[in-house]
Amino acid sequence: MGSTSDKAAGLGNQAAGNVKQGLGKAVGNDRLRGEGAAQETKGKAQKAVGDAKATAKKATDKAASAIKKNL
């Protein structure tokens, strides 16, 4: 996955996790709350991977640009 798709998937999982937690809390379902918390954590990790990929790409692009400029 690219950085944008990782970030989007992460945000989607975070949102779905929040909804599951809220639903679980509303109906008193601890299992659903736990699943929601796990999904939210997964989303945060996915978003962090996307952010790291974007940072690495920017650094690589900047280094390549500097090298081209010196040629």
CA distance 34 to 47: 20
Cα 12 to Cα 39: distance, rounded to the nearest angstrom: 10
Instruction: Report the pLDDT value the prediction gives residue 71, as an integer from 0 to 100.
Output: 79
Q: How confident is the model at residue 70 (pLDDT cuts 50, 70, 90)?
A: confident
Q: What pTM does this model have?
A: 0.80
Answer for the pair 39, 17: CB distance below 8 angstroms, yes or no: yes
**Torsion sign across C-alpha atoms 49, 50, 56, 57:** positive
The mean pLDDT value for 37-62 works out to: 96
pLDDT computed for residue 29 by the predictor: 97
